[in-house]
């Protein structure tokens, strides 16, 4: 059931991101949140919180198995744990496209609150009863993880909180230090104890949310769920009488480990650029004494220079404003993002600027009043690494002077 829920959460996050991408692939009518850019380069992370460890079945082996067969008729027992806590530390690398890879160290602690079982299945002597249950389970792990961050749009430029959903998974190695004991009420008040450390292959799935802190570029608050499992292990143990003499010894085969954790944490990406000042929002002109805007932004799809319906609407607003106010000249400047070579982006920005100028002329603006410039990728609105596709940088600026 837990794995099913994790897969369902991943599906919801993937579907949400897919819808956002489908909308952005037509007309860039939204702005990605500048404080929620993909991580590029080194980052550090830390988290801590609640840990639940599922009950684990036991199978007494060797002399311990013989002891339980002779006194209770069944080698099968069980372990239960109280709610505990855990923490993780990680160092990773972001590839600038939503993908991240990291190495993680983790620790989890749960107290033992049940050690029992070893009862006859049918008929015969009564089952085994225990008292004085005590002990702890400590886990130490090293994992290699891969994550994907979903870049969601900022639906409104004034949205106060940015959020980046992410999913991930990892594999590694988990050491479990298990120390559990309990005293049988009968026969003889013997004490059953498991005390050993064992390592197994481990795996995990992760789903979380990151909340970038705009005041500190690169710093994010994280909230996540983790499922972590490890393979079956064998632990040394014994049975001793009230005088401390060993009655039997051997190993206990302990079922697979299953942890469920909810953690809060912080993550810091070192190479996060400072977001540029937000572009002023063009407000609709009031009915009386209109004050037309002086700067207009026209956005383009990736690797395209043709005008969308929304682009034509913005150009039309600029053309109308130029006729209502005293305009001495109209500057049209083309730009491109950093995906592709600088030479190609220079030509692409020129085509975009020419397309906007031609539309202004079609709408009645005199060509002699228009100056056209192309800056390629040299003047980004949002600073990015080379090769990053940034919708805000695929633009033409219309300035009325």
Question: pLDDT, tens digit, for every residue of 107-128?
Answer: 999 999 999 888 765 554 455 6
pLDDT at 152: 77
Mean pLDDT computed over 309-322 = 90
Q: Which has the minimum average pLDDT: 17-31, 47-61, 102-116, 291-305?
A: 17-31
Residue 83 pLDDT more than 80?
Answer: yes
Q: Same CATH fold, 295-400 and 2-269? A: no
Q: Which has the minimum average pLDDT: 28-32, 194-198, 366-370?
A: 28-32
In the chain, the percentage of residues whose pLDDT exceeds 70 is 82
CA 66, 70, 73, 78 dihedral sign is negative
Residue 10 pLDDT more than 60?
Answer: no
pLDDT at 23: 42
- Superfamily of chain region 295-400: OmpA-like domain (3.30.1330.60)
Beta bridge partners, 257, equal 230
pLDDT at 15: 43
Residue 289 pLDDT more than 90?
Answer: no
| Rounded CA separation 168/142 (Å) | 15
| Rounded CA separation 192/181 (Å) | 6
pLDDT at 290: 46
pLDDT tier, 11 (very low <50, low <70, confident <90, very high otherwise): very low
For the chain, domain boundaries: 2-269, 295-400
For residue 136, CA distances in Å to 179, 180, 197, 207, 319 come to 5, 6, 12, 28, 74
pLDDT tier, 373 (very low <50, low <70, confident <90, very high otherwise): very high
| Rounded CA separation 128/64 (Å) | 14
Residue 394 pLDDT more than 80?
Answer: yes
pLDDT at 281: 66
Considering the chain, what is the average pLDDT of its residues? 85
pLDDT tier, 287 (very low <50, low <70, confident <90, very high otherwise): low
What are the two backbone dihedrals, phi and then psi, of residue 305, each rounded to the nearest 5 degrees?
-125, 5
Q: Which has the minimum average pLDDT: 45-54, 318-327, 359-368?
A: 318-327
Mean pLDDT computed over 1-23 = 46
Report the b/e string of 46-79 with b at 16+ CB within 10 A. Answer: ebebebbbeebebbbbebbbebbeebbbbbebeb
The candidate with the shortest Cα–Cα distance to 130, out of 67, 192, 49, is 192
pLDDT at 123: 52
The candidate with the shortest Cα–Cα distance to 269, out of 391, 122, 164, is 164
Taking a C-beta distance cutoff of 8 angstroms, is the pair 108, 260 a contact? no
pLDDT at 276: 60
Structural fold of domain 2-269: Porin (2.40.160)
Mean pLDDT computed over 67-83 = 88
Q: Which has the minimum average pLDDT: 208-217, 287-296, 354-363?
A: 287-296
For residue 340, CA distances in Å to 28, 95, 397 come to 20, 17, 21
The pTM of the full predicted model, rounded to 2 decimals, is 0.61
pLDDT tier, 7 (very low <50, low <70, confident <90, very high otherwise): very low
pLDDT at 13: 45
């Amino acid at each position: 059931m837990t794995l099913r829920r994790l897969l369902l959460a991943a599906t919801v996050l993937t579907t949400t991101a897919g819808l956002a991408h489908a909308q952005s692939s037509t007309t860039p009518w939204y702005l990605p949140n500048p404080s929620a850019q993909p991580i590029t380069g080194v980052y550090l992370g830390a988290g801590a919180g609640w840990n639940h460890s599922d009950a684990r079945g036991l199978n007494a082996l060797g002399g311990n198995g013989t002891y339980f067969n002779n006194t209770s008729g069944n080698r099968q027992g069980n372990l239960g744990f109280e709610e505990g806590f855990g923490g993780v530390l990680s160092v990773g690398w972001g590839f600038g496209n939503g993908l991240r890879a990291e190495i993680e160290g983790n620790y989890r602690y749960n107290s033992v609150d049940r050690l029992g079982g070893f009862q006859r299945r049918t008929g015969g002597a009564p089952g085994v009863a225990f008292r004085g249950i005590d002990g702890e389970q400590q886990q130490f792990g090293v994992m290699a993880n891969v994550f994907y961050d979903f870049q969601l749009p900022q639906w409104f430029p004034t949205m106060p909180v940015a959020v980046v959903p992410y999913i991930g998974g990892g594999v590694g190695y988990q050491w479990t230090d298990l120390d559990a004991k309990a005293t049988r009420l009968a026969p003889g008040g013997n004490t059953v104890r498991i005390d050993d450390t064992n390592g197994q292959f481990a795996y995990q799935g992760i789903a979380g949310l990151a909340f970038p802190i705009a005041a500190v570029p690169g710093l994010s608050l994280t909230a996540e769920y983790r499922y972590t499992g490890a393979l079956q292990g064998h632990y040394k143990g014994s049975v001793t009488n009230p005088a401390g003499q060993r009655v039997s010894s051997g190993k206990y085969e302990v079922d697979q480990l299953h942890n469920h954790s909810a953690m809060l944490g912080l993550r810091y990406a070192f190479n996060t650029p400072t977001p540029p000042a937000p572009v002023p929002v063009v407000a609709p002109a009031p009915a009386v004494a209109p004050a037309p805007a002086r700067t207009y932004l026209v956005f383009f799809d990736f690797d395209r220079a043709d005008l969308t319906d929304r682009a034509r609407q913005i150009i039309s607003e600029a053309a109308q404003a130029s006729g209502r106010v005293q305009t001495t000249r109209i500057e049209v400047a083309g730009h491109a993002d950093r995906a592709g070579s600088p030479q190609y982006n220079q030509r692409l920005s020129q085509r975009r600027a020419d397309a906007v100028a031609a539309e202004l002329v079609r709408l009645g603006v005199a060509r002699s009043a228009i100056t056209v410039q192309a800056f390629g990728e040299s003047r980004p609105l949002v600073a990015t690494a080379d090769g990053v596709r940034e919708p805000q940088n695929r633009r033409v600026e219309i300035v009325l002077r």
